[in-house]
Each structure stands twice: as structure tokens, then as C-alpha cells.
Chain A
Amino acid sequence: MSHTVLVCDDAIFMRTMITDILAQAGFEIVGEAETGSQAVEKYKQLKPDLVTMDIVMPDMGGIDAVREICKHDPDAKILMCSAMGQQALVVEAIQAGAKDFVVKPFQPSRVLEAVQRVLG
């Protein structure tokens, strides 16, 4: 059975690209979220195998969303999507419970490597 993924990013552009990369690799995208609070809500509802999480989002940021999700499910597998210059935020996200990160601009091979690592 293919792994299920929840894609969280406030930019449709980014969601489309991540969705394309993962779908082509055989993952099943079961949901998308545009804000941190949506991500938390959809995580509870969809229980995906993997979450890709943008750091900067309106309403509730990605790091707070990681905290909330991990509070609910400490085993949640969350992959942060970060940009250059976000070292401190990435460290914070990992301390909050994120399992790995990829750096924009995305290279499909690196994204898939990270996903494989996170899923074990």
C-alpha cells in the first residue's frame, strides 16, 4: 500500500510541486493545508503516514503546528520544508519534533531521500 501524505504550505505553487514530486514517486496525497491550524486539524482527521510542513504560514506557523501534532501523536513523521537562511527555525522545528527537512529550491531526488529517511 502506498504511503499517505498531507502537504502543508500556504503557496499553491509549492503544494503543487511537492504533490507532483511525491505523486510521481507513488505516494498518495490525501490532503493539503494552507495554514498551521489547518495542518493540525487535517492531521487528526486523516492520520497520514507523512506530513510535509512549510515553516512560514499565516494563522499558525509550521513550527507551532509541529508541536501541536506531536502533542497529539509523538510518532508523527513530519518533514519540514525550509529555505536557505532558516537554520535557526529548522533547529527549532527539529527540537519540536520534526523528523527531517528539505531546503528550497527542491530537488526531487533530495525530497524523496528525505521522505525515505523519515518513513524509515
Chain B
Amino acid sequence: MDLSQYAELFLAESREHLSACNQLLLEWERRPAAPEPVGGIFRAVHTVKGMAATMGYARVADLAHRMENLLDHLRRGGRPPSDDTLQLLFRATDALEKAVDLAVAGRERDADVETVVVDLDRAVAALAPAAARAAAAPAADLVPSPPPLAGPIGGGAGRLVRVMLRLEAPLKGGRAMLIVRKAQSLGGVHGITPAPSAFEAEDFDGRFAFRLETSASPEEIEAAIRTVGDVERVAVGEDESRAPRVEGALEAGRTRHIRVDLRRLDALMNLIGELATARGRLNELAAEWRDPAIDDVAIQISRLSADLQTEIIQARMTPVWQVFDRFPRLVRDLARELGKQVAFRVEGKEIELDRAILDELGDPLVHLLRNAVDHGVEVPAERRKQGKKPEGEIVLSAVRERSSVAISIADDGRGIDRARVLGKAKREGLVDARAESLSDDQLLRVLARPGFSTAEAVTSVSGRGVGIDVALTKIRALGGSIEIRTELGKGTTFVLRLPVTLAIVRALIAAVGPERYALPLTYVAETVEFGTVAMTTMEGREAMVLRDRVVPLVHLRGLLGVSGEAPPARRPVIVLELGERRAGVVVDGMLGQQEIVVKGFEAPRGTLPVFSGATIMGDGVPALILDAAGLL
């Protein structure tokens, strides 16, 4: 049969099991005396083994088999594993993960499993020398010699039945047991030789005999035994199975889950996007025609396509644990490497995000977590000196906000020394030489400068400043934002805010000159009319006073270089809010709210960094989407 169609499923499911393996190994490392993790790890590895064998991935199956051996000994032994054993299992899990990837890519030969296999076998031998010896020579230790096929076995009533199974039959003991059961359906069975316990040995050779007290003829006995399958020879000496019951009516009951290729969902999303655009156009036409019949249809189509859209977006939602679950291992490895003690906690694992966003989130989070371990958390000695617990804490949490998800990475480490960053920023001319302090925002902007770093020793882990730079760029590209909060000696928290979905967002449509622009509602706090609120200045920039807060203003006309007709007298100000930051955007007019389908946007060089994408309006004319983070 063609196995390639199962490769993706194999890969996806193996990864899930290996991720579970890592989770459980970490748990085991924390609580070595706990009995639960080893059972779960065993099951995960066993499942991977079975799937790999079915796919014909011999090396993967072999490695999994050796791991399973070791785990089985650990499970039976009931003793906490040594640190060496745990490290070996971590290493073996990594090797298995690589081997799975390579196998699916058609390069199983490249999988380097030899050393870890040798180490696993050595660990098994060390754990259970007796068992290993028995496995090497089981015939001598465990199984009595099989009886010759000819010759009498024991005395007593009944016909002597001797059976030899096919040489190539797998698990001959199981087959032998089935034959015994079959014989029992014909009459009384006794004198089984070798004893049934020998059937359980892996190297049972498939030859056995028993006595059967029955009224059935030798031909009937042989026929019955042959139906069990894998029978080479049956000999019945001198001395009826029940008809299968007709099964009752079946009840309807179907599986409730299917797996769908992500590309299918992407394609559906694109179609829904086009449908939404067409819907918008239909609504505009209906408004012009003023025909009640067309209105009805337009309303119905609007409702149906909105429902459809909700369903598809829901289908794309994926819980964040799918990405978060690999972090405990990462943090642990890093902390070990750097000689630090870190308790890592994950909260809000079940919060959901669009798969497309989640897939992009891994890298930025890795950068920020590396920073937290490397620069945030101090070494135990230093923490003690500060009067802190020797073990640092890092918390990764996801929280659903109105129409966004906030993901924060908080450490209780040394915090960022603003004075030092300020000094360096001044020397590099990044901030005004007269500045006396750095706000959180300014701090983030300085830290995010490519190449900016205050780490004295640039470690292999981070410290080149690229972390925050890369993370910020990526998060902004996803339509999200990053915020930083830090206090010297107490710790640092990064908060990432992301839209729940990328594909369709509600936006405010604003007019500037002849063009329309879309502003995602996620970041719109409110709107006010320009000129109706008190004006002031802030760091030399025009600002307005909104309920005792000074909000800097951006004139979109000026920013975008729109000339021509004078702006209307009454102009709205759209107040954007991004975490703690606010800004007012002055536009010419507001055209209402609308759902827009976000299309990727390749900005030509020299374009202002204030656009995050483009969309097609109901009338088919494109409009640019303004990036709140860029405007702020």
C-alpha cells in the first residue's frame, strides 16, 4: 500500500508525542520519585515506535525500541532515575525527534542514532544486569526445551494434538494461545506442553502439544485448528465451535474529529476574504438600488457569510500550548548551561490564537525567553546576596484581552539598569544628550536598536541585542506590539499584544484627501473632534489634553504629504492606544467601521513605516492599513 499519504500524519502525531515526552521528562526531573511520568513517556515512545515501524522507518523504530527498553526497566524498577539516566533520555528524545524529521524527508540514513543507541543499551545493562543476561540467552534460562513433534506427552484421556506453527508467523505464543482456546471450544484441554507460560517468551518456537477430550473427529479437530491461522502442521492422534451470533442493529455514532491540512484552511480563508469583499460590494449596490427584494437577499448573504467567516476563523484557532510546550525544555537546558536555577511556569496554555500567528510566534518568544534566562535571572550566588531565593522565576503567560491576546514573559531577575542604558544611548547619540531618564517606551526603542547591547560579556546565548530587535520586528509584522516594564533588582516583563486573527479585522475607515485608510479597531480607544479639546505641546510636538492626559498628535495629511484642497473645518481625531502609549491621529473624515480582509503588503523601499498591509474596499478600490505601532 502507498504509505506516503500517511507521512504528514505520522510527522504531526510523532511531534505531539515527542513534545509530550519532553514535558514528562521535565516533570520527572523535578520530581524523580513520582511514578506517573515514566508511564506516559513509555506510552509516547511506544506509539512512535509502532507508527515508525508501520511507515517502514527502521532506524526510528529501532531507536524508539531501545528507549522503550530502558523505560520499561525504569518503570518496573520503580526507583527514581539517576541524573545521568534523565540526561540520556533527553538526548534520546532529541535524537528521535531528528530521526523522525529526517525519515519523513526521505533521509532516514542521515539520522545519527548509533551513539545514543549504544548508551541506551548500556544503561539497560547497568540497570538490570540479570535481565539483560536473560534476554541474551533466554532459551537456556526461561523456556524448557520444546518437545519433539513426535513422541507421547504425558498420559491421560483425550486425543494427542501436536501443532507446529509457520516459521514466519509473528508472535507465535499468541497464536498458540489462540489455538488452545480454539481447542477448548471443542472439549476439555489438558497436558499443554510446554506450559502456557512458555508462550509468553519472545523466542517460543511455535511447536506445542496438548490432549483434547472431545467427540469431534480428527478431521474436524484439524480443520478447527487450521482456522486459527499461521498453522504449518497439525497431527491428531487416536483418541465444534459456536456459530457466530448475528449482530444486532448498529446505532449511528460517528467520529467527531478529523484532521485538516492547514493549507486547506488557508485556501478557505482566502475564499472567505473574497466573499467578504463581494459582500461589501453587494451591500453598496443594494443601498443604491433601494429594492426591498435585493435588500433581503443582501442581508441574508451578509449574515450567512459572516457566520461562515466566524466558523472558519474558529477552525483556525489553535491553543498556544502547541508552541509553548517546547519552552520548558528550552529554558531548562539554557539554565543548566548557564549554571542558573530557574523555575519556569506557563499560564493560560489554553488561550487560542490564529494558527498563522502562532506559527510565527515561536522565534520571538525564544529570543525573549533566552534574554530572560541569560540577562534577567542572576546566578544563585548573586541572588542570595540580593536576599532573593536562589531559584529565579520566569513566567510565560497568555491572557485574552478584548480583541487581542497578551503574552507576557516575566522574570524576577536583575532588571535593566536604565542609567547604564541611558549612558550608552547618549554616547551612541540615540537619545538627546540632555535627557535625564528613559521611559519604558524609550528604553524599548533603544534596546531594540539593531546591535545595541549592554551586556559586558557577549555570551553564546544572547547579548548581541538582536533578541529584542528581531522580536519587535516580527511582532510588528504580525500587527502586534511589544511593551517593556522593568525595575532594577526586581525583574523585567515583556508584554506582547497580538491580534487574535490576522485574516479579517474590524477597522475604522478614515479619509485623508482622496484616499481611504483603514485603522484596525483593536488599537482604537476613542475618537474626538479636533479643536474641541485643549491643545498643548509635548517634547516640542503638538499634543492635546484628554481627561488630564497629554496625547501627542499626528496629522496624517502632513505625514503622508497630502496636498491639494484644504482640509475640512471639522476634523476627527482617532485616539490610538497601545498598552500605556496613546496618540491622536488627525484625519479628514471618518467613513465608518467595516470588516476588512488583510492582504500581505510588500512596501516599496522608502515607504513610511506606518502601513501594516492593504485591503480591497467594497467598491474594489484598494486601501492601505495603518499600523498603530508605527504611528505611535
Contact = CB atoms under 8 A, between A and B. Distances in A.
Interface in A1-40: 3-4, 10-14, 16-17, 21, 28-32
A4 B47 contact: no
A75 B10 contact: no
A91 B250 contact: no
B248 A17 contact: no
Contacts of A75: 245
A77 B253 CA distance: 19
B184 to A, nearest CB: 11
Interface residues of A, number: 53
B196 interface: yes
Contact of A14 (B50, B181, B243): B50
A75 B46 CA distance: 30
B247 A4 contact: yes
Contacts of A119: 244
B147 interface: no
B49 interface: yes
A104 B173 contact: no
A52 B379 CA distance: 54
B40 interface: yes
Interface stretch (B199-207, B278-286, B313-321, B602-610): B199-207
A75 B241 CA distance: 12
Interface in B21-66: 40, 42-43, 46-47, 49-51, 53-56, 65
A101 B54 contact: no
Contacts, number: 130
B297 interface: no
Nearest to A85: B202
Interface string B292-334: 0000000000000000000000000000000000000000000
Interface in A46-97: 46-49, 56-58, 75, 77, 80, 82-88, 90-95
B170 interface: yes
Contacts of B250: 4, 28, 30, 46-48
Interface in B223-252: 227-229, 241, 243-245, 247-248, 250-252
A84 to B, nearest CB: 7
A88 to B, nearest CB: 4
A105 B13 contact: no
B229 A13 contact: no
A60 to B, nearest CB: 12
Given A4-B247, A13-B9, A105-B56, A84 B171 contact: yes
B76 to A, nearest CB: 13
B77 to A, nearest CB: 18
B51 A13 contact: yes
A100 B176 CA distance: 11
Nearest to A33: B255
Given A10-B47, A13-B6, A114-B229, A90 B173 contact: yes
Given A11-B51, A58-B40, A90 B248 contact: no
A100 B50 contact: no
B174 interface: yes
Contacts of A101: 171, 174, 178
B43 to A, nearest CB: 6
A94 B43 contact: no
B547 interface: no
Contact of B202 (A47, A82, A87, A100): A87
Nearest to B56: A105
Contact of A100 (B49, B65, B178): B178
Contacts of B196: 91
Nearest to B55: A105
B202 A105 contact: no
Contacts of A114: 229
A111 B135 CA distance: 30
A47 B65 contact: no
A87 B173 contact: yes
A85 to B, nearest CB: 7
Contacts of A3: 247
A104 B244 CA distance: 27
A82 B228 CA distance: 17
A56 B53 contact: no
A77 to B, nearest CB: 8
B171 A16 contact: no
Interface string B168-205: 00111110011001000000000000001001111010
Given A90-B171, A117-B229, A14 B54 contact: yes
A54 to B, nearest CB: 8
Contact of A30 (B55, B172, B202, B254): B254
B251 A16 contact: no
A106 B43 CA distance: 19
Contact of B177 (A28, A30, A94): A94
B171 A103 contact: yes
B65 A85 contact: yes
Nearest to B9: A13
Contacts of B174: 80, 82, 87, 90-91, 93-94, 101
Nearest to A61: B43
Contact of B200 (A16, A56, A87, A100): A87
A13 B7 CA distance: 9
A117 B201 CA distance: 25
A32 B229 CA distance: 27
B130 interface: no
Contact of A46 (B13, B243, B251): B251
B126 interface: no
Contacts of B13: 11-13
A11 B47 contact: yes
B259 A105 contact: no
Interface in B546-565: none
Nearest to B51: A13
A114 B178 CA distance: 12
Nearest to A88: B200
B201 A12 contact: no
Contacts of B247: 3-4, 47-49
A85 B40 CA distance: 19
B202 A83 contact: no
A56 B173 CA distance: 19
> Across chains A and B, which 7 residue pairs bring their CB atoms closest together, nearest first?
A90-B174, A88-B200, A120-B244, A105-B54, A103-B170, A94-B177, A105-B53
Given A11-B50, A17-B6, 8 more contacts: A13-B51, A17-B54, A46-B250, A58-B40, A94-B174, A104-B54, A105-B54, A113-B229
Interface of B: 1, 6, 9-10, 13, 17, 40, 42-43, 46-47, 49-51, 53-56, 65, 170-174, 177-178, 181, 196, 199-202, 204, 227-229, 241, 243-245, 247-248, 250-255, 259
